Structure formats: structure tokens, C-alpha cells
Amino acid sequence: MDGGHCDFNHNLNIPLVEDQTQRWQRNQNPETDSTNVYGTTSFLKTCFNGLNTLSDSVQMSEKHSYNPSLNVPLLLNDEEKAIASHPTAKNTVSFFGTCLNGLNTLSGVGILSVPYALASGGWLSLAFLFAIAGAAFYTGLLIKRCMDKNSNIRTYPDIGELAFGKTGRLIVSVSMYTELYLVSIGFLILEGDNMSNMFPIREMQIAGLELGGKQFFVILVALIILPTCWLDNLNLLSYVSATGVFASILIILSISWTVTFDEVGLHQKGTFVNWSGIPTSVSLYAFCYCAHPVFPTLYNSMKNKHQFSNVLLVCFLLTTVGYASMAIIGYRMFGDGIESQVTLNLPLDKVSSKVAIYTTLVNPISKFALMVTPITNALKDLLPRTYKNRLTSILVSTVLVMSATIIALLVPFFGSLMSLVGAFLSVTASILLPCLCYFKISGTYRKFEYETAAIIVIIMTAIIMIISGTYISIMEIVQHL
């Protein structure tokens, strides 16, 4: 797969809404359009940080200097969630390269929670995993069709604006910022859970505060992560974090080794169906397929855009096989006693288990800065120009990490939080919004056909998933507080 590197330095601001003058200038001068990144400053780093980009707009100013000769990178990073940038004038990524990027966008921390999702709903809930995968694949095709309608579309917020104006762009952007923030909180909870499981410690007092082991590790990880959030150059973290697909494969292989050679076995039969747990299962499954905001970047980066449908097919098939395999293996290993993260159930005296756990621990630490950087840039963009400096950037990043840490300490429920993200944000961004935008852009709603009926069914189902899943997730969080 082709890749390239360029070097140009500027501070990237990502506004929620781009005014019409800026948009006209960008459309008239595509070669001078900067890549919009999750806080990065080169196109290579942009694509590595692409999943963390939430809006495509870059505020133009005299101090910005752009290099149009940019290329597409080897890999895009994770997701658990967001949005990528403008493509370059050169579309350089091959079919195989785009498949790798697509697999990386769909591979994230969701791999840890699918056994818990299966246990929540029972074996029958696997049908919902495949149904959500199918619906997400179809809405990915709808995004492609929306982009085919207008050659100026470069990012997901562009689609929202084309369909519903600035309101549409605002809704898309805010939903993605919120998702990034909640996922970053989930990272801290995940770290605290796994580290306290591996290194159990008693309660301690620090500065007059009594902290449990999990709380201590959440704070410790936040302190370790904080300096990475101050960096202007996230190039190294970009390379480290662009390993979602490899990390997922390593976790599956490690747990499979534990089952086969470490005498854990697949002895649990499980429950056929647990109707009360179905909404939780559906929400967690939906969280696994929240990569749609990056699809426009993948599409625009391809040499042969006609192959994009096949790219989506390959990516969804392989990731669904991986998610289903992990769900079945984890549920058969631990049954209804499965934790919200399967790594919490693994025997700590086995090398294979340690490999899976350490892989789980390293990824969130490397990705946290990439997740919060676009939020930091958006917050800085709201400030007056005189306050947009290095010190302000550090202050905003620090406050953001502190707020995420406080929420992780107050709401340390990984499964419930990811279920909330899946129900309220992932279903919205990956299923509901693509359907609504396609309806509006294509004008399909004006004529009743089989596809129109299918899209209406998907929209109604998505609304039900959002309402039921969000309500149950919030109630679970409230009950545990």
C-alpha cells in the first residue's frame, strides 16, 4: 500500500460549523485545502489520527501554510470511534490498503465486551449482532451514494450539511465529539479495571482522600496519559495507535490459546435468550460498528472508488467473524459470570492471559491523546483569538483529562458506559443519520419503493434501539451509583 509523508507546521482548529465564505473558498481551491485531523499537522498523521477527527473544516488564516503534495498513510487508527479528514488530490490507496484501513477502523475495544453482550442477551442475541452488521454495512453503502451525489463532499459532517444545512453539520459534529469524550472516559475505566485486577492493592490515603485500588490506577493512568495530551506532534502515538486490527487479532489468539492449552475449556452452556438483557446486547453490538464517520476518507483515498462497496463487504465480513468468534469463545468459557471486559475473567497465572491483558492495557494509553485532541482543538476554537496559544492549549487539555478522570471515578461502569455510547451515539451516527441524510439528499422519500420501505424500517428500528438502549443504560448507571 502506498504511503507518504510531508512536513508542515500549524495549529489545527476544528470548528463545529464552517461559514459559507470558507466553504466557497475551499471548494474553489481544493489543492489548498488542508487535511482536517484529530489534532495532527500532516496528512500522514491525519490519516493515522483520522478516526479521531470530528469535523472537516479548517479555519483559514495567514499563518497557515499548506503543502498540497500529500499522500495517504498506511493505516488509520481506531475508533472506538471517529472521523477523518480531507483526501488529497492524489488518490493513492489500493484496494488491499483500503481494506486494512477499514479493518482498523472497525477493530477496537468492542472486542472485549462482545462476550458480555452475548451473556446479557443469550445465544439468540447473536442474531442481532449479524443484523446490526448487515444494517451498518448497508448504511455504509448509503454514505457512498451520498458522496456520489456531490463531488464536494469530503467528510461525514459535509454529508450532514448537504442534507440539512448547518444544523445537520452541527448535529453530526457534536454527536461525534460526545462519542469521543465518552470513549476516552471508557479507556480510563478499562485501564483501572484491568490494572487493579492484575495488581490488587488495598485502600490507601492520598492527600486526605481514601482511594481504592481501581480509583488509584485510574488516577495513575490519567497522570501518565496527561503529558501525551500536551504534545503538538503526535506522530509517534499515531503509529503506535494504528494497530487496532493487530491488537484485536492478538487478543483473540491469546484467549484461544488459553482455551486450548491452558485447561480453561469451553464448559459453559449459557442461556438461549434473556429478553431483559437484549437492549444491552444490541447497544454493545452497535458500539462495535461505529466507524461510519471515517468512511468518506476511505472512499476519497482510493485509487478505484468503484471498489469501495467490495471494501466494505470484506471489512464487515472479517470483523463480524472476529466479533462473533470472541463472543462465542468468551461466553462458552465463563458463561453468565462473564465480566464487562473478558480480560477480567482470564487466569492471571497464564502467559497467554497476560499477553491479552497487556495488549488491552497498552492500546488505550497510546490512543487517549488522539481521542481528546480534536475536542481540545474545538474548545480552543471557541476562545477569542488572543487566547489561542500554547499555554491555553495545555490548560484546555489538562482540564479535559481531569474532567474525564473525575467522571471515570464517579461512574466506573465500563459495560454500562459503552452500552450508552452504543445506544445513543453509535446507532445515531452509524445507522440513523446515514439513512436520514440519504433520504434528504437523494429525494428517495418522495417515491415509495422497496428500498424506501427498507430504509424506513431501519430508521424506525434505530429509533427504538436508541430509546430503549439509552434508557436501560442510564438506569443501570444510576442503580450502580
- The string of DSSP letters for 420-475 reads HIIIIIIHIIIIIHHHHHHHHHH-GGGS--HHHHHHHHHHHHHHHHHHHHHHHHHH
> Is the model's pLDDT at 302 over the cut of 80?
yes
Residue 233: in which H helix or E strand, if any? none
Percentage of the chain beyond pLDDT 90 is 30
Q: State the Cα–Cα distance between residues 172 and 55, nearest whole angstrom.
A: 8
Question: Is 20 within a domain?
Answer: no
CATH number of domain containing 280: 1.20.1740.10
Per-residue pLDDT band for 143 (boundaries 50, 70, 90) equals very high
Question: Is 24 within a domain?
Answer: no
Instruction: Look at residue 316 in the predicted model and tell me its pLDDT.
Output: 95
Sign of CA dihedral 208, 211, 217, 218: negative
**0.85 cut: is pTM over it?**
no
**How large is the average pLDDT for residues 306-329?**
93
Instruction: Look at residue 243 in the predicted model and tell me its pLDDT.
Output: 66
Angle at which helix 390-410 crosses helix 351-381, to 10 degrees, equals 130
Bridge partners, 53 (sequence order): 83
C-alpha dihedral over 450, 318, 370, 424, to 10 degrees?
Answer: 40
Question: Is 21 within a domain?
Answer: no
Instruction: Look at residue 9 in the predicted model and tell me its pLDDT.
Output: 34
C-alpha dihedral over 258, 259, 263, 269, to 10 degrees?
Answer: 140
Question: Is 134 within a domain?
Answer: yes
C-alpha dihedral over 453, 455, 461, 462, to 10 degrees?
Answer: -160
Q: Output 207 or 13, whichever has higher pLDDT.
A: 207
> Is the model's pLDDT at 64 over the cut of 70?
no
Per-residue pLDDT band for 48 (boundaries 50, 70, 90) equals very low
Per-residue pLDDT band for 145 (boundaries 50, 70, 90) equals very high
Question: Is 347 within a domain?
Answer: yes
Question: Is 61 within a domain?
Answer: no
Assign 318 to helix, strand or coil: helix
Half-sphere exposure of 236 (CA within 13 A, CB side): 6
- Three-point CA angle 343, 345, 349, nearest 5°: 85
Instruction: Look at residue 110 in the predicted model and tell me its pLDDT.
Output: 85
| Domain enclosing residue 290, as ranges | 94-480
Residue 293: in which H helix or E strand, if any? none
Give residue-wise pLDDT tens across range 381-432: 888 888 778 888 889 889 999 999 999 998 888 888 889 999 998 999 999 9
Question: Is 106 within a domain?
Answer: yes
**Count of structural domains, the chain:** 1
Q: Nearest-CA neighbor of 425 among 316, 323, 317, 291?
A: 291
Based on its alpha-carbon atoms, the radius of gyration of the chain, rounded to whole angstroms, reads 22
Question: Is 164 within a domain?
Answer: yes
Give residue-wise pLDDT tens across range 330-378: 999 998 889 888 888 888 888 888 888 888 888 788 778 877 877 887 8
> Is the model's pLDDT at 227 over the cut of 50?
yes
